[in-house]
Amino acid sequence: MRTAAELAALAAAGTVPVLAYLAIGLWLARALKRPERGAERLALCWLLGTGAASLAILTLRALDLPVPLVALAALALAGLPALRDCRRSASEGSQRAAALPGAVDAASLCVAALLFVSAFGPEIAWDAVEYHLPMIQAWTDGPIRAIPGMLDAEFRAGADLLFVPAVAAGQPDAAGSVSAGFGLAIAALVRAESRRRASATAGSLAGLFSLLVPFTFAEATAATVDLAVGAYGFAALLAADRWNREGRIESLTLAALCLGFAANAKLHAAVLLPVALALVLLGGRPPPARPLLSRAALCAALITPWFVKTGLTTGNPVFPLLGGIFGYGPSSPELLAWKRGDVSHYVRVERSLPGFFRYLASLTFGRTYHVSGLLGPLPLALAPLAWTRPARPTLVLIALLAVLALLQFLFMPALRFGAPLLPFYALAAAVGGARLAGSGLAGRRAVAAALVVSGAIAWVGAAEKLAARLVALREPSAYERAALPAQANLREVVARGDAVVAIPRGAVSWMPKPVYNLHWSRNGELFFDERTNPDAALALLRERGVHSLAIEAPRGRSPRVGHPIVDAWLARGDATLVPDPNPPSAGRDRVWRLVRLR
C-alpha cells in the first residue's frame, strides 16, 4: 500500500517530465512560428518538445550526466509564458460556440485526464517489462552503452529515453505518462485535421473516439513507444500534405522534424522518409530544390546522433541493417534473420488477397493476437463512406497510405507497427461520418446510433480497465500479480538466486536483480536450445557473469528440468538444482526452479 507521500512522488515523476517536454516544445513552436492554436498547438508542442528532449537525454546519459526531476521542474515552469501562444483569437473562439462539439470536447478532456492518471498505474504491458524498462534502468544505472546480452539496447530508442526521468526518480510506473501524452497528442491532431476536412462536430467526435479506441487504451498506459512513432509519423505526413495544399515552407520544416523524431524512436519508421518525399514530389506542388534539400539536411542532422550511438556500440551505424558491409555487431546473421522472421510471422495472417481482407476484418471483429478488434468498428463502418473524387494531394496521400498498409500486412502485421497509419483511419471515418450525417435525418440517426453503440462498448471496456488501474495506484502489487502471476512468482525465485540470474523465454527482464534473458530475440547472441552445444552455452553465460538460472520445469520431484542444455549440465555436475519443496507456479502444470551454476 502506497502512502500519500509515495503517491505524491509517483505523481511528480509522471507529471514533471511531461510538463518539461511540453515547455521545450512551447518555446520551439514559438521559434518556428507555428500558426496552430488550442489543443492542436499543444499536441505539436508535445511532439517537438519530446523529440528535442530525447536528443538532449541521449547526450546527457551518454556522458553519464543525471536528468533530475528538480531541473525538469524548473524547465516546466519556464514554459509557462509560452503557453499564451495556445490561446485562440476572439474570432477563432467564436467557432467553439456550438453546443455538441463543446460537450464532446468536454467528454474528451475527462477521458484524457483519466487516461493520463491511470498511466501512473503499475506496469503490466509485456513489452514494457520485457525490455523497454529494463533497458532504460540499465541506461539510468550507468551511461548509455552497449549492454552485452541485451539486443534491444542496440536499436533506436528515442522515445524510450523519455522514460529516463521517471525511472531515475525510482518511479518506473510513472513512465507510462509519456505514452499517454502521445495518445492525447494523436487525438488532438485527429480532432484538428478532421475539423478542417469535415466539420467541428466530426472533429470533436473523432478526437474522442481516438482516445476510446482499444488500441489507444492498451498503449497509452504502458511504457512502450508505438504511440510515439504513430504521433510523429502522423504529424509528419500531415505536414507534408499541408505543404501540398497550402505551400507554406514551415510545413516542410515540421515534416522534416517529425520524420527525424519518428526514425529516432523506431528504425522501421524510417520508411516514412521516402513516403513523405514522394508525397511532396507527387502531390501537385513539388518544392523548390533548395528548401527541400535544407529540410532533408535538418532531418539528417536529427537522426545522426543515433547513427553515432549505434556505430559506437555495435560497429555498424545502421545496425541491424547492412550487416554484410558493416558487421553484425553483438549478434549473428542467423539470429537477425530469425528476428526478422519473428516480426513477420508471430502474427499469423495468410499473405494473399483474401488474407488481406480477412486481416482488415480481424482488426474490427477478429480473434488474432496483436490485431483483433483493436480499431473498433468505426473505421470500417465510416471510412469507406468518405470516398469521393479526391483532389490530387489527397489522392496521392491515400495511395501512399495504401502502400504502407500493404507493406505492414506483408512484413509487420501486428497493428502497433502501423501506428502512423491509424489516425488516418480516424480521419477518414470522420469525413465519412460527416457525409452520411449531412445527408438527412436518417443518415444522422444512423451515425448517432453507431456512435452511441460503439462508444458505449468502448467505454465499458475502458472503464473497467481504468478503474482497476486507478485502484492499483495505492495497492500495486495485487494488480501486478493478477495481471502477470507467473512473472510475480518468478520474481521471488530470481530474488533468491545469485546474480546475474538467467531467466528463460517467456519471462520478463524487469526483475529485482540483474538478469540475463535467455530468449534469443532479447539477448541477440544465444539460442538456448538444442541448436547450441551445452559447453558453448555455459561458457557464454559465465562470460556474462551468470551464476544461477530460474527455469520452468514440470511439477514434481524430478531431478531434471526437461531442458536439453540444463539437464546436460545437471547430469555432468556443472549445475545443481536448488531444493524447493514448494516451487512457485509458472502457469498450468509448470513451476519455477532455481539452478545454480558451478
Partner 1 sequence: VGAPEPDATAPEPLTGWRRSVAILWLAGVVALYVAAQLGLPIVR
| Site residues, partner 1 (CB under 8 A) | 195-199, 245-248, 284-285, 287-288, 358, 361-362, 364-368, 373, 376-377, 380-382, 384-386, 388, 391, 393, 431-432, 434-436, 438-440, 442-443, 446-447, 449-450, 453-454, 457
Q: For partner 1, which is the closer residue by CB, 341 or 384? A: 384
Give min distance, CB of 288 to partner 1, in A: 7
Give min distance, CB of 246 to partner 1, in A: 4
Q: For partner 1, which is the closer residue by CB, 109 or 457? A: 457
How many residues are present in the chain? 598
Q: For partner 1, which is the closer residue by CB, 461 or 514? A: 461
Instruction: Determine the distance from the C-alpha atom of residue 468 to the mean position of all C-alpha atoms in its chain, rounded to a whole number.
Output: 22
Which cell numbers in the block locate residue 547? 551464476
Cα–Cα distance measured from residue 29 to residue 570, given in angstroms and rounded to the nearest whole number: 62
Strand partners, 172: none
Cα–Cα distance measured from residue 590 to residue 202, given in angstroms and rounded to the nearest whole number: 52
Cα–Cα distance measured from residue 178 to residue 119, given in angstroms and rounded to the nearest whole number: 8
Cα–Cα distance measured from residue 28 to residue 251, given in angstroms and rounded to the nearest whole number: 14
Give min distance, CB of 467 to partner 1, in A: 19
3-state secondary structure of 596: strand
Q: For partner 1, which is the closer residue by CB, 95 or 477? A: 95
Q: Report DSSP letters for 31-77, one per residue.
A: HTT----HHHHHHHHHHHHHHHHHHHHHHHHHTT----HHHHHHHHH
Q: For partner 1, which is the closer residue by CB, 313 or 364? A: 364
Strand partners, 501: 515, 548
Cα–Cα distance measured from residue 216 to residue 210, given in angstroms and rounded to the nearest whole number: 7
Interacting residues of 423 by C-beta distance below 8 A, sequence separation 6+: 186, 189, 190, 210, 230, 234
Give min distance, CB of 26 to partner 1, in A: 24
Q: For partner 1, which is the closer residue by CB, 257 or 431? A: 431
Give min distance, CB of 421 to partner 1, in A: 19
Q: For partner 1, which is the closer residue by CB, 168 or 386? A: 386
Give min distance, CB of 275 to partner 1, in A: 21
Q: For partner 1, which is the closer residue by CB, 142 or 438? A: 438
Angle, CA of 520, 525 and 528, to the nearest 5°? 50
Give min distance, CB of 317 to partner 1, in A: 35
Q: For partner 1, which is the closer residue by CB, 142 or 384? A: 384
Give min distance, CB of 219 to partner 1, in A: 20
Q: For partner 1, which is the closer residue by CB, 94 or 477? A: 94
Cα–Cα distance measured from residue 456 to residue 466, given in angstroms and rounded to the nearest whole number: 15
CB atoms within 10 A of CB 401: 19
Cα–Cα distance measured from residue 178 to residue 51, given in angstroms and rounded to the nearest whole number: 12
Largest CA-CA distance found in the chain, in angstroms, rounded: 82
Contact 194, 202 (CB under 8 A): yes
Cα–Cα distance measured from residue 522 to residue 505, given in angstroms and rounded to the nearest whole number: 9
